């Protein structure tokens, strides 16, 4: 039996791969101590190896980074509450290994720093940036505009313009209207966003009609995936051609999420496939990783790749229509990867929506955050 077949059986039949865990990492002298959220090993040894390969880290750097990202994830919500109305966003700084929180009022500094975060003063609050984002969302964007998102590090809304179309009249007009909406920074991007569904080629996780997509995360009663893969009621077949279930809910565009019920001899397990690159990964929760954190993706075409979280709350301008509140990453993907898993450490992050580029020359991808999908359909993530 081929190795890939064994891996697929592990997903449908519930055979869990055991992961070798790593011990907790202590903070270096002069750095904020790691909180209790980092006391449990954040990843398997194989995941650390993948981060070494894709992020150019040493083994020690990878394990230290994972532990500090877990600590940052644990204090982000507390730091945001401490900042109050002056909160301007937050991100993980890989250089210092700490969460950075932007605030508009110096009076908030002490309360935020007491949580373990580093503080930087900015001009615009998160509420102001969100209001700017909402006004731009109301505009009609041409194809030459890739998307836009709130960037706390730039303290503005960043509008991505596809380089080949930057001088188009309709793109220039959109940028002018966007600048009038509030604080905006314009950046150029190499590619136009597209979804990553693919035609049937055989031997991959699931099919609906003539489309192949990838399973995201197991939930009790089914799994979540991308909405652009099928409409509600569509039948789903597994990698072996056997019937799994049906799309119970689906939304695209505006959102890009869906869920499929599981039956007919299939059942759910809290596992993300490592495709032989890493061990299959256990899912233990859905704590949201901050901007700047490392993240990995599993999909049926390009399998396992890692990168970093680049932006949150981005509106992506696909040819089929805009999709809101997406997260952008530096991880590559290819057709057929749609719906697949984004995971940070052992925490589920989202399902692959689309992007530009490929895993040979590089590119960027967006995912639909998993917690929004769970809340929308009242689902419960299957965790180890």
Catalytic residue numbers?
A: 228, 256, 338
List the Cα angle 274/275/277 in 5-degree steps.
70
- The DSSP letter of residue 174 is H
Task: Look at residues 86, 56, 75 and name the one whose alpha carbon lies nearest to residue 152.
Answer: 86
First-to-last C-alpha distance (Å) of the chain: 28
Q: Quick one: CA dihedral 46, 71, 327, 213, positive or negative? A: positive
User: Cis ω on the peptide bond leading into residue 253 (within 30° of 0)?
Assistant: yes
List the Cα angle 136/313/301 in 5-degree steps.
120
Collapsing DSSP to helix, strand or coil, 38 comes out as: helix
**Cβ neighbourhood burial of 25 (10 Å; 0-12, 13-18, 19+):** buried
Rounded CA separation 82/66 (Å)? 25
Collapsing DSSP to helix, strand or coil, 348 comes out as: strand
């Amino acid at each position: 039996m081929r190795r890939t077949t064994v891996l697929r059986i592990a997903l449908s039949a519930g055979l869990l791969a055991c992961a070798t865990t790593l011990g907790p990492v202590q903070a270096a002298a002069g750095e904020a101590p790691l909180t209790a959220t980092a006391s449990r090993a954040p990843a398997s040894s194989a995941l650390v190896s993948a981060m070494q390969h894709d992020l150019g880290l040493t083994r020690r750097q990878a394990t230290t980074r994972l532990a500090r990202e877990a600590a940052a994830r644990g204090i982000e919500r507390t730091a945001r509450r401490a900042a109050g109305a002056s909160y301007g966003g937050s991100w993980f700084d890989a250089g210092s290994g700490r969460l950075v929180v932007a605030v508009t009022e110096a009076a908030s500094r002490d309360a935020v720093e007491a949580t373990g975060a580093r503080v930087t003063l900015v001009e615009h609050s998160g509420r102001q940036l969100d209001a700017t984002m909402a006004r731009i969302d109301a505009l009609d964007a041409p194809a030459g505009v890739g998307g836009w998102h709130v960037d706390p590090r730039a303290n503005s809304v960043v509008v991505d313009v596809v380089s080949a179309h930057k001088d188009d009249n309709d793109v220039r007009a959109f940028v002018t209207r966007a600048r009038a909406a509030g604080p905006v920074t314009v950046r150029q991007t190499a590619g136009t966003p597209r979804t990553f569904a693919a035609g049937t080629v055989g031997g991959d996780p699931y099919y609906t009609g003539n489309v192949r997509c990838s399973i995201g995360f197991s939930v009790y009663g089914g799994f979540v995936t991308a909405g652009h893969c099928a409409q509600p009621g569509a039948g789903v077949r597994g990698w072996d051609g056997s019937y799994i279930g049906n799309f119970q809910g689906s939304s695209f565009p505006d959102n890009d999420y869906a869920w499929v019920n599981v039956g007919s001899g299939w059942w759910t397990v809290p596992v993300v496939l490592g495709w032989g690159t890493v061990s299959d990964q256990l899912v233990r929760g859905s704590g949201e990783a901050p901007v700047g954190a490392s993240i990995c993706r599993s999909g049926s075409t390009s399998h396992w790749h890692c990168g970093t979280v680049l932006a949150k709350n981005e509106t992506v301008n696909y040819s089929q229509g805009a999709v809101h509140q997406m997260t952008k990453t530096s991880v590559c993907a290819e057709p057929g990867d749609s719906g697949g898993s984004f995971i940070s450490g052992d925490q589920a992050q989202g399902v692959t929506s689309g992007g530009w580029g490929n895993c040979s020359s590089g590119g960027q991808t967006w995912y639909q955050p998993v917690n929004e999908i769970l809340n929308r359909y009242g689902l419960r993530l299957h965790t180890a």
